Chain A
Protein backbone atom coordinates (compact mmCIF):
# COMPACT_ATOMS: atom_id res chain seq x y z
CA UNK A 1 0.00 0.00 0.00
CA UNK A 2 1.47 3.35 -1.02
CA UNK A 3 2.19 5.83 1.72
CA UNK A 4 1.48 9.56 1.76
CA UNK A 5 2.90 11.04 -1.41
CA UNK A 6 4.14 14.61 -1.53
CA UNK A 7 5.45 16.62 -4.43
CA UNK A 8 7.74 18.25 -5.18
CA UNK A 9 10.38 16.87 -2.80
CA UNK A 10 12.52 19.95 -3.30
CA UNK A 11 11.61 23.39 -4.56
CA UNK A 12 13.84 26.41 -4.95
CA UNK A 13 12.12 29.61 -5.95
CA UNK A 14 12.58 33.33 -5.82
CA UNK A 15 10.81 35.70 -3.50
CA UNK A 16 7.46 36.76 -4.86
CA UNK A 17 6.79 33.60 -6.83
CA UNK A 18 3.81 31.34 -6.25
CA UNK A 19 4.51 27.94 -4.71
CA UNK A 20 2.13 24.97 -4.78
CA UNK A 21 2.81 21.87 -2.70
CA UNK A 22 0.80 18.73 -3.33
CA UNK A 23 -0.24 15.79 -1.21
CA UNK A 24 -1.93 12.48 -1.90
CA UNK A 25 -3.07 10.85 1.35
CA UNK A 26 -3.31 7.12 1.94
CA UNK A 27 -6.45 5.68 0.42
CA UNK A 28 -9.21 5.31 3.03
CA UNK A 29 -7.77 7.92 5.39
CA UNK A 30 -10.29 10.65 6.17
CA UNK A 31 -8.11 13.21 7.95
CA UNK A 32 -5.28 15.20 6.39
CA UNK A 33 -2.80 17.50 8.08
CA UNK A 34 -0.26 20.05 6.86
CA UNK A 35 2.73 20.76 9.12
CA UNK A 36 5.74 23.03 8.67
CA UNK A 37 9.13 22.18 10.19
CA UNK A 38 11.89 24.69 10.87
CA UNK A 39 14.88 24.64 13.19
CA UNK A 40 13.58 27.60 15.17
CA UNK A 41 9.93 26.66 15.57
CA UNK A 42 9.93 22.88 15.25
CA UNK A 43 6.83 21.21 13.82
CA UNK A 44 3.91 23.60 13.51
CA UNK A 45 0.39 22.56 12.55
CA UNK A 46 -0.79 24.74 9.69
CA UNK A 47 -4.22 23.30 8.88
CA UNK A 48 -6.14 20.04 8.98
CA UNK A 49 -9.12 18.56 7.19
CA UNK A 50 -11.64 15.93 8.22
CA UNK A 51 -13.60 14.38 5.35
CA UNK A 52 -12.24 17.09 3.02
CA UNK A 53 -13.56 19.90 5.24
CA UNK A 54 -11.09 22.33 6.83
CA UNK A 55 -11.44 22.08 10.59
CA UNK A 56 -8.75 24.35 11.98
CA UNK A 57 -6.63 26.75 9.94
CA UNK A 58 -5.50 28.88 12.86
CA UNK A 59 -1.92 27.82 12.25
CA UNK A 60 -1.77 29.27 8.75
CA UNK A 61 0.74 32.11 9.11
CA UNK A 62 -1.04 34.73 7.04
CA UNK A 63 -3.21 35.32 4.03
CA UNK A 64 -0.40 34.40 1.70
CA UNK A 65 -1.02 30.77 2.65
CA UNK A 66 -4.03 28.80 1.47
CA UNK A 67 -4.92 25.11 1.45
CA UNK A 68 -7.54 23.11 -0.38
CA UNK A 69 -8.78 19.56 -0.40
CA UNK A 70 -11.05 19.20 -3.42
CA UNK A 71 -11.48 15.44 -2.91
CA UNK A 72 -10.42 12.63 -0.61
CA UNK A 73 -7.28 11.84 -2.55
CA UNK A 74 -5.68 15.22 -3.08
CA UNK A 75 -4.71 18.37 -1.21
CA UNK A 76 -2.66 21.46 -2.04
CA UNK A 77 -0.89 24.06 0.03
CA UNK A 78 -0.26 27.29 -1.83
CA UNK A 79 1.96 30.23 -0.90
CA UNK A 80 1.47 33.41 -2.92
CA UNK A 81 3.64 35.44 -2.90
CA UNK A 82 6.45 33.48 -1.29
CA UNK A 83 9.01 35.07 1.05
CA UNK A 84 12.42 33.87 2.33
CA UNK A 85 10.96 33.25 5.80
CA UNK A 86 8.69 30.60 4.26
CA UNK A 87 11.73 28.39 3.70
CA UNK A 88 11.04 25.16 5.58
CA UNK A 89 10.12 21.52 5.16
CA UNK A 90 6.39 21.10 4.69
CA UNK A 91 4.90 17.77 5.73
CA UNK A 92 1.57 16.27 4.85
CA UNK A 93 0.13 13.51 7.04
CA UNK A 94 -3.04 11.46 6.92
CA UNK A 95 -5.00 9.36 9.39
CA UNK A 96 -7.87 6.92 9.33
CA UNK A 97 -10.68 7.45 11.78
CA UNK A 98 -10.53 9.57 14.91
CA UNK A 99 -7.93 10.87 17.26
CA UNK A 100 -6.57 7.51 18.39
CA UNK A 101 -5.23 6.62 14.98
CA UNK A 102 -1.65 6.87 13.85
CA UNK A 103 -0.59 9.78 11.65
CA UNK A 104 1.26 8.63 8.54
CA UNK A 105 3.66 11.25 7.23
CA UNK A 106 4.93 11.91 3.76
CA UNK A 107 8.63 12.49 3.18
CA UNK A 108 8.14 16.24 3.07
CA UNK A 109 8.64 19.06 0.58
CA UNK A 110 11.75 21.13 1.23
CA UNK A 111 11.09 24.71 0.14
CA UNK A 112 13.83 27.28 -0.29
CA UNK A 113 12.81 30.83 -1.13
CA UNK A 114 15.70 33.03 -2.26
Chain B
Protein backbone atom coordinates (compact mmCIF):
# COMPACT_ATOMS: atom_id res chain seq x y z
CA UNK B 1 0.00 0.00 0.00
CA UNK B 2 1.06 3.53 -0.61
CA UNK B 3 1.22 6.43 1.83
CA UNK B 4 2.00 10.11 1.62
CA UNK B 5 3.56 12.38 4.23
CA UNK B 6 3.38 16.12 3.89
CA UNK B 7 6.03 17.36 6.22
CA UNK B 8 4.56 20.78 6.99
CA UNK B 9 0.96 21.33 8.01
CA UNK B 10 1.24 25.12 7.66
CA UNK B 11 3.62 27.31 5.67
CA UNK B 12 3.38 31.09 6.11
CA UNK B 13 5.24 33.24 3.57
CA UNK B 14 5.34 36.82 2.39
CA UNK B 15 4.19 37.81 -1.06
CA UNK B 16 6.85 37.47 -3.79
CA UNK B 17 8.94 35.12 -1.66
CA UNK B 18 9.81 31.62 -2.90
CA UNK B 19 8.10 28.63 -1.34
CA UNK B 20 8.63 24.88 -1.14
CA UNK B 21 5.99 22.45 0.09
CA UNK B 22 7.45 19.11 0.99
CA UNK B 23 6.03 15.69 0.18
CA UNK B 24 7.43 12.21 0.78
CA UNK B 25 5.79 9.00 -0.29
CA UNK B 26 6.09 5.33 0.48
CA UNK B 27 5.34 2.52 -1.95
CA UNK B 28 6.64 -0.91 -2.85
CA UNK B 29 5.71 -0.44 -6.53
CA UNK B 30 6.07 2.23 -9.19
CA UNK B 31 3.88 5.25 -8.64
CA UNK B 32 2.33 8.28 -10.23
CA UNK B 33 2.52 11.50 -8.20
CA UNK B 34 0.20 14.48 -8.12
CA UNK B 35 -0.26 17.86 -6.47
CA UNK B 36 -3.76 19.26 -6.02
CA UNK B 37 -4.89 22.63 -4.67
CA UNK B 38 -8.05 23.37 -2.71
CA UNK B 39 -9.41 26.89 -2.32
CA UNK B 40 -11.87 27.56 0.52
CA UNK B 41 -15.23 25.83 0.16
CA UNK B 42 -14.26 24.23 -3.13
CA UNK B 43 -13.20 20.84 -4.41
CA UNK B 44 -9.63 19.98 -5.36
CA UNK B 45 -8.02 20.99 -8.64
CA UNK B 46 -4.98 19.40 -10.29
CA UNK B 47 -1.81 21.52 -10.21
CA UNK B 48 0.58 19.06 -11.83
CA UNK B 49 1.44 15.39 -12.14
CA UNK B 50 4.43 13.14 -12.65
CA UNK B 51 3.84 10.00 -14.67
CA UNK B 52 7.24 9.23 -16.20
CA UNK B 53 10.13 10.86 -18.03
CA UNK B 54 11.59 14.17 -16.95
CA UNK B 55 11.72 14.43 -13.18
CA UNK B 56 10.93 18.16 -13.24
CA UNK B 57 7.30 18.81 -14.02
CA UNK B 58 5.65 22.16 -14.52
CA UNK B 59 2.07 22.89 -13.65
CA UNK B 60 -0.43 25.69 -13.63
CA UNK B 61 0.00 29.05 -11.89
CA UNK B 62 3.80 28.91 -12.04
CA UNK B 63 4.21 25.86 -9.81
CA UNK B 64 6.70 23.08 -10.46
CA UNK B 65 7.70 19.88 -8.70
CA UNK B 66 10.65 17.55 -8.82
CA UNK B 67 10.43 13.79 -8.51
CA UNK B 68 13.34 12.29 -6.59
CA UNK B 69 13.12 8.51 -6.62
CA UNK B 70 16.09 7.90 -4.31
CA UNK B 71 14.61 10.17 -1.66
CA UNK B 72 11.02 9.19 -2.45
CA UNK B 73 10.09 12.85 -2.56
CA UNK B 74 7.98 15.10 -4.76
CA UNK B 75 8.39 18.64 -3.42
CA UNK B 76 6.34 21.50 -4.85
CA UNK B 77 7.97 24.87 -5.52
CA UNK B 78 7.13 28.33 -6.72
CA UNK B 79 9.79 31.05 -7.13
CA UNK B 80 7.50 33.95 -6.24
CA UNK B 81 4.11 33.55 -4.57
CA UNK B 82 1.05 35.77 -4.74
CA UNK B 83 -1.69 36.45 -2.23
CA UNK B 84 -3.99 34.43 -4.47
CA UNK B 85 -1.87 31.30 -3.89
CA UNK B 86 -3.23 31.09 -0.35
CA UNK B 87 -4.90 27.68 -0.26
CA UNK B 88 -4.55 24.07 0.92
CA UNK B 89 -2.17 21.93 -1.11
CA UNK B 90 -2.36 18.15 -1.28
CA UNK B 91 0.21 15.67 -2.49
CA UNK B 92 -1.17 12.36 -3.79
CA UNK B 93 0.17 9.03 -4.99
CA UNK B 94 -1.25 6.13 -6.95
CA UNK B 95 0.14 2.86 -8.22
CA UNK B 96 0.99 2.80 -11.89
CA UNK B 97 -1.51 0.88 -13.93
CA UNK B 98 -5.09 1.29 -14.86
CA UNK B 99 -7.88 2.13 -12.52
CA UNK B 100 -6.09 2.69 -9.23
CA UNK B 101 -7.14 5.23 -6.65
CA UNK B 102 -5.25 8.28 -5.42
CA UNK B 103 -4.09 8.35 -1.83
CA UNK B 104 -3.72 11.86 -0.45
CA UNK B 105 -1.50 13.40 2.18
CA UNK B 106 -3.05 15.45 4.97
CA UNK B 107 -2.41 18.71 3.23
CA UNK B 108 -0.31 21.84 3.72
CA UNK B 109 -1.92 25.21 4.29
CA UNK B 110 -0.02 27.91 2.41
CA UNK B 111 -0.72 31.38 3.79
CA UNK B 112 0.65 34.29 1.77
CA UNK B 113 0.64 37.72 3.37
CA UNK B 114 1.67 41.16 2.15
Contacts and interface: CB of A to CB of B under 8 A. Distances in A.
Contacts, number: 60
Interface size class of B (residues with CB under 8 A): 20 to 34
B101 A100 contact: no
A70 interface: no
A31 B102 CA distance: 12
Contacts of A50: 99
Interface size class of A (residues with CB under 8 A): 20 to 34
A58 B96 CA distance: 20
A77 interface: no
B97 A45 contact: no
Interface in B50-83: 51
Interface of B: 32, 36, 41-46, 49, 51, 90, 94-107
Counting from the closest, the 8 A-B pairs by CB-CB distance are A105-B43, A98-B98, A42-B106, A43-B104, A50-B99, A99-B100, A102-B46, A105-B44
